């Protein structure tokens, strides 16, 4: 847990994360990486759901199906971006011994999934 000397550049990327502060406990860094991988699994699940809806043509209303598939893919894209940003912000906060950032991406994901569930539910009932 030593500071990197200013004349010695850390070879890891991104430099705006690794070029600051000191090394945190490796357990915390590895936990942060596991959280990032959990977000990646969520993205894969969203994309699998989009492929399933497309393949099985559910719901039968074409416009609703295309809309829900589009929302699933858009949510997957946003989750990927949020996961990368979240990983970097948490890693840098740990390195600088600052409080961890707020968990706003989870609420955005929950809202998007709620919207998708309501649309799918309405399309399957009516």
The backbone torsions φ and ψ at residue 3, rounded to the nearest 5 degrees and listed phi first, read: -70, 140
Alpha-carbon distance of 78 to 64, in angstroms, equals 21
- Listed in sequence order, the residues at least 6 apart from 13 whose beta carbon sits closer than 8 Å to its beta carbon are none
- 23-60, pLDDT tens digit by residue? 999 999 999 999 999 999 999 999 999 999 999 999 99
| Percent over 90 (pLDDT), the chain | 83
pLDDT the model gives residue 7: 47
Residue given tokens 């948490």 in the structure block:
90
Question: Which DSSP string corresponds to 69-117?
Answer: HHHHHHHHHHHHHHHHHHHHHHHHHHHTT-PPPP-HHHHHHHHHHHHHH
Model confidence, pTM: 0.85
What are the residue boundaries of the structural domains of the chain, listed by start? Answer: 42-125
Q: In the structure encoding, which two tokens stand for residue 36, read together?
A: 């990032």
């Amino acid at each position: 847990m030593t500071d990197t000397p200013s004349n010695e550049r850390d070879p890891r990327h991104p430099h705006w994360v690794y070029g600051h502060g000191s090394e945190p406990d490796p357990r915390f860094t590895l936990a942060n990486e596991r959280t990032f991988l959990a977000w990646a699994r969520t993205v894969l699940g969203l994309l699998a759901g989009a492929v399933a809806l497309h393949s099985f043509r559910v719901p039968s209303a074409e416009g609703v199906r295309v809309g829900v598939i589009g929302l699933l893919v858009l949510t997957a894209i946003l989750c990927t971006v949020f996961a990368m940003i979240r990983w970097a912000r948490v890693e840098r906060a740990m390195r600088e011994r600052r409080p961890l950032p707020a968990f706003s991406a989870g609420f955005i994901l929950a809202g998007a999934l709620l919207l998708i569930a309501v649309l799918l539910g309405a399309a399957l009932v009516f």
